[in-house]
């Protein structure tokens, strides 16, 4: 039994693997480090979470400290975040995010902007050569 309570329906959360779940609304509470770990496990790469601010629809409070959370989004998934304690996923949001795990590979995130990374250019060269091989 954990002491966490659902930010949406205030029911106690139940630990399920790496997450704490609400049986009522099927939402999931995940610590940010755990989330990064889950994404890295899926991508076998370092991941970077590009938190975006979003307009808050309804205020939710942290499952741990009950402070109002920040409304954020990650790759168009709308989330609520307590910087100290974790992130709240509504039902299905966590699986959506995990299925898009590759979007958070840290080298993919740095794609826009600098083209000055020599090893990345090298890889693109190989990919380009392969594309020619199969595409031409
Ligand atoms: Zn709930
Ligand atoms: Zn908190």
Q: How far is the CA of 85 from the centre of ligand 1 (A)?
A: 17
* Domain, as residue range, for 60: 14-104
pLDDT digits over 46-67, tens only?
999 999 999 987 889 999 999 9
pLDDT at site 1: 45
Number of structural domains the chain divides into: 1
Residue recorded with tokens 């996923």: 89
Residue 120 in any domain: the answer is: no
Strand 86-89 and strand 77-82: the pairing is antiparallel
User: Any bridge partners for residue 77, and if so which?
Assistant: 74
3-state secondary structure (DSSP) of residue 20 = strand
Q: How far is the CA of 99 from the centre of ligand 2 (A)?
A: 26
Q: Which residues surround ligand 1, an ion (CB under 5 A)?
A: 6, 8-9, 22, 24-25
Q: How far is the CA of 87 from the centre of ligand 2 (A)?
A: 9
Rg (CA), the chain: 18
For the stretch 81-112, what's the b/e string if a residue is b when 16 or more beta carbons lie within 10 angstroms of its beta carbon? bbeebbbbbbeebbeebeeebebbbeeeeeee
pLDDT digits over 9-54, tens only?
999 999 999 999 999 999 999 999 999 999 999 999 999 999 999 9
pLDDT digits over 96-106, tens only?
999 999 999 98
Closest ligand to the CA of 14: 1
Residue 113 in any domain: the answer is: no
Residue 75 in any domain: the answer is: yes
pLDDT at site 104: 95
């Amino acid at each position: 039994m954990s002491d966490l309570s659902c930010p949406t329906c205030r029911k106690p959360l139940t630990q399920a693997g790496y997450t704490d779940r609400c049986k009522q609304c099927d939402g999931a509470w995940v610590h940010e480090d755990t989330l990064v770990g889950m994404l890295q496990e899926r991508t076998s790469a370092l991941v970077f979470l590009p938190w975006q601010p979003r307009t808050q629809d309804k205020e939710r409070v942290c499952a741990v400290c009950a402070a109002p959370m920040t409304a954020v989004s990650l790759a168009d998934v709308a989330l609520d975040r307590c910087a100290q304690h974790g992130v709240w996923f509504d039902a299905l949001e966590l699986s959506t995010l995990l299925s898009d795990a590759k979007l958070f590979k840290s080298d993919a995130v740095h794609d826009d902007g600098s083209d000055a990374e020599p090893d990345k250019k090298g890889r693109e060269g190989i990919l380009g050569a392969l594309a020619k091989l199969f595409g031409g």
